[in-house]
């Protein structure tokens, strides 16, 4: 890293460097495209971009960290803000580290690898606080014992690497050699960066991806070309049971026909003897979605098994199963703690998926009812309950905002409702259902602080109080953060 003290022409604080660029700019934007500026970085966006200020104007700069001063080239200017590219690091943050991954700058997967891990956890906690205050209009306690919502320190990992039990890599045509490549999309594009080793993936995933990619090349399997819609292999997905060691390989193809299918299966079985399942998924649509609707087993089982906190789960190709098992246990234990179960309570688990949270809750609840819109997930949830000999659960497929009111009409009332929605947050009708049902406690598990804050505002206005929030770092080195939230009826 270079220090500004060794360089000339660094300009006044937060102002322009001597770049020879045109000095005139509109009244709304003091800088023009391609102009060189010196920028003080004051924060990070939710996408991990540095937020800079120069002459009172906001510039977003990829790779810059709070507390830093950088020389940057203005790339795009809008009325109230702009985007710039970092050209030189003049003053570095004490929290800056050298990214461990050699393709960190190309790959869009790990946005925070250049920020040391303790600082990542601090930023994620503050990111949650900012959303609660700005979007949810919630009063956040400033110190222990003061009034307001308590936001705990983020629960991090002792070893924040190699945590992902699932890899889903796109396959495409190499830009140079024209052959099959597989890896991750370059930041902000659909150009595939060929990758053989990802430091946040379980080592087994990387090993399998390397082998499947090589086998595909040697057998002449045509990679999918996104621009033309031609080619066969679109994605390779690998799931690893971290406790059991079982591995599933999913080949997503552009149509039902997979040339060299038998030989490919044979080669995978010979070279990867711990693979228990090889599955084909058919996706012949022009879409960004990974999976299509049709899935069938090429060889082996239709599921693999894994365990979370002693509970065994059967995982199929399209099952939703958290990708960081160690942190999932932390998250779900916190959800059970917030549910305050004594053994007699009735709990409703909305968005129950394959029953992961439901089965954690069932060990301490009287009865757990799970609802999920995906019928296959509900089938998996029932199988997982039976697999573990858990008999105090019931699962039903359908929209939670439709099923739960019907349960209420049938006399089912909940002491606790647990929600774990997708990134878009809870359906408004579900929030209305919760308010009508009036459980004593609500536990909200969220993967998106902004939609969490929005939904908490609705619940607060409807008679609930947000007591405590615990961020859990499910995705180290990325900008994503999960939260577990405890609310009580007032």
Residues known to be catalytic:
447
- Three-state SS at 341: coil
CA distance 236 to 279: 10
Do 149 and 132 touch, CB atoms closer than 8 A? Answer: yes
Give the pair of three-digit tokens for residue 147.
Answer: 């009034």
Closest C-alpha among 144, 74, 68, 71 to residue 60: 74
User: For residue 277, what are the contacts with CB-CB under 8 A and spacing of at least 6?
Assistant: 246, 247, 248, 249, 297, 299, 300, 301, 302, 303, 304, 317
CA distance 345 to 404: 17
Closest C-alpha among 8, 21, 66, 5 to residue 39: 66
Strand partners of residue 83: 60, 76
Do 379 and 372 touch, CB atoms closer than 8 A? Answer: no
Do 345 and 415 touch, CB atoms closer than 8 A? Answer: yes
CA distances from 480 to 4, 234, 476, 486 (A): 32, 26, 8, 20
Do 85 and 59 touch, CB atoms closer than 8 A? Answer: no
CA distance 42 to 111: 17
CA distance 329 to 152: 17
Give the pair of three-digit tokens for residue 102.
Answer: 């050699």
């Amino acid at each position: 890293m270079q220090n500004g003290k060794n360089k000339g022409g660094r300009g006044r604080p937060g102002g322009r460097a001597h770049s020879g660029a045109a000095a005139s700019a509109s009244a709304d934007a003091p800088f023009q495209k391609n102009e060189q500026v010196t920028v003080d970085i004051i924060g990070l966006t939710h996408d991990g971009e540095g937020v800079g200020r120069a002459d009172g104007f906001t510039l977003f700069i990829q790779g810059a960290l709070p507390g830093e001063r950088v020389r940057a080239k203005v790339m795009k200017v809008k009325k109230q803000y702009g985007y710039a590219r970092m050209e030189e690091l003049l003053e570095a943050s004490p929290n800056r580290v050298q990214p461990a991954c050699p393709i960190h700058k190309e790959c869009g997967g790990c946005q925070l690898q250049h920020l040391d891990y303790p600082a990542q956890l601090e930023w994620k906690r503050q990111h949650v606080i900012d959303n609660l205050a700005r979007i949810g209009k919630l009063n956040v306690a400033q110190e222990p014992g003061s009034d307001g919502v308590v936001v705990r320190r983020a629960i991090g990992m002792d070893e924040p690497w190699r945590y992902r039990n699932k890899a889903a890599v796109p396959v495409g045509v190499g830009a140079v050699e024209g052959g099959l490549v597989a890896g991750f999309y370059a930041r902000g594009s659909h150009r595939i960066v060929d990758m053989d080793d990802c430091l946040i993936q379980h080592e087994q995933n990387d090993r399998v991806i390397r082998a499947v990619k090589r086998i595909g090349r040697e057998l002449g399997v045509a990679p999918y070309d996104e621009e033309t819609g031609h080619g066969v292999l679109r994605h390779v997905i690998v799931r690893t049971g971290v406790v059991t060691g079982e591995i599933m390989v999913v080949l997503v193809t552009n149509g039902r026909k997979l040339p060299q299918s038998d030989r490919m299966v044979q080669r995978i079985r010979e070279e990867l003897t711990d693979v228990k399942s090889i599955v084909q998924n058919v996706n012949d649509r022009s879409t960004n979605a990974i999976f299509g609707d049709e899935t069938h087993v090429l060889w082996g089982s239709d599921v693999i098994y894994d365990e979370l906190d002693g509970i065994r789960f059967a995982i199929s190709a399209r099952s939703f199963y958290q990708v960081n098992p160690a942190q999932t246990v932390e998250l779900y234990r916190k959800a059970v703690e917030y549910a305050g179960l004594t053994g007699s309570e009735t709990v409703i688990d909305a968005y129950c998926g394959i029953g992961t949270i439901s089965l954690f809750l069932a060990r301490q609840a009287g009865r757990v009812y799970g609802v999920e819109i995906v019928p296959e997930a509900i089938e998996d949830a029932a199988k997982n309950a039976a697999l573990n000999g858990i008999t105090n659960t019931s699962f039903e497929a359908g929209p939670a905002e439709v099923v739960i009111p019907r349960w209420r009409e049938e006399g089912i009332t909940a002491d606790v409702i647990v929600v774990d929605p997708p990134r878009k947050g809870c359906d408004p009708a579900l929030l209305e259902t919760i308010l009508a049902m009036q459980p004593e406690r609500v536990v909200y598990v969220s993967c998106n602080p902004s939609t969490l804050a929005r939904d908490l505002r609705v619940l607060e206005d409807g008679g609930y109080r947000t007591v405590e929030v615990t961020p859990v770092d499910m995705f180290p080195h990325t900008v994503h953060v999960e939260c577990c939230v405890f609310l009580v009826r007032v």
